[in-house]
Amino acid sequence: MSVTANRIKELRTQKKLTQSELAETINTSRVTISRIESETRQPSYAMLSLIADALDTTVEYLQGKTDSPLKTPHNSSDDGDDKKHVDLADDELIMSFEGKELSEDYKQAIIAMLKTMREGKQ
């Protein structure tokens, strides 16, 4: 079984979805999902994109280009990148732009926006 077919079936069953339920979610037929999972049909990129969204993953994962099924990979290893992780749960953020300190009003506006974004994701 191909990586794509295997991963689609694996994620679908992990999410306790039948082929019919997945098909209904992406507006296709159960037969189409069955053919994709059994490799009788190669899905288009557009179809893979719909399936990935329905299974809460990425097309890259379904295609075997990455081993992380997460939409936003969480990398705890140090890859040499100088960017710092900002925990949105912190009430106080220290922000600067190219070494220039931001005004207090601007900082508060950014904090308010981040809190609004965080609340929208919950």
**How confident is the model over 40-51, as pLDDT tens digits?**
999 888 899 999
Residues 6+ apart with CB under 8 A from 115: 88
Picking from 62, 9, 69, the residue whose alpha carbon sits closest to that of residue 33 is 9
Nearest-angstrom CA–CA distance, 71 and 62: 11
54 is a domain residue: yes
Nearest-angstrom CA–CA distance, 44 and 30: 16
Whether the CB-CB separation of 62 and 42 falls below 8 Å is answered with no
Residues 6+ apart with CB under 8 A from 68: 61
Note whether 55 and 97 are same-domain residues: no
pLDDT digit string (tens) for 4-47? 999 999 999 999 999 999 999 999 999 999 999 999 999 888 89
Note whether 17 and 52 are same-domain residues: yes
Nearest-angstrom CA–CA distance, 87 and 70: 19
Q: How many separate domains does the chain show?
A: 2
46 is a domain residue: yes
74 is a domain residue: no
pLDDT band at residue 120 using 50, 70 and 90 as cut-offs: low
Note whether 51 and 91 are same-domain residues: no
Note whether 42 and 87 are same-domain residues: no
Average pLDDT over residues 62-79: 71
> For the domain that residue 21 is a member of, what is the CATH number?
1.10.260.40
75 is a domain residue: no
pTM given for the model: 0.58
Specify burial of residue 111 (Cβ count, 10 A radius: 0-12, 13-18, 19+).
Answer: middle
Note whether 103 and 52 are same-domain residues: no
Domain that holds residue 18: 3-62
Cα-Cα-Cα-Cα torsion 27, 55, 20, 42, nearest 10 degrees, comes to 70
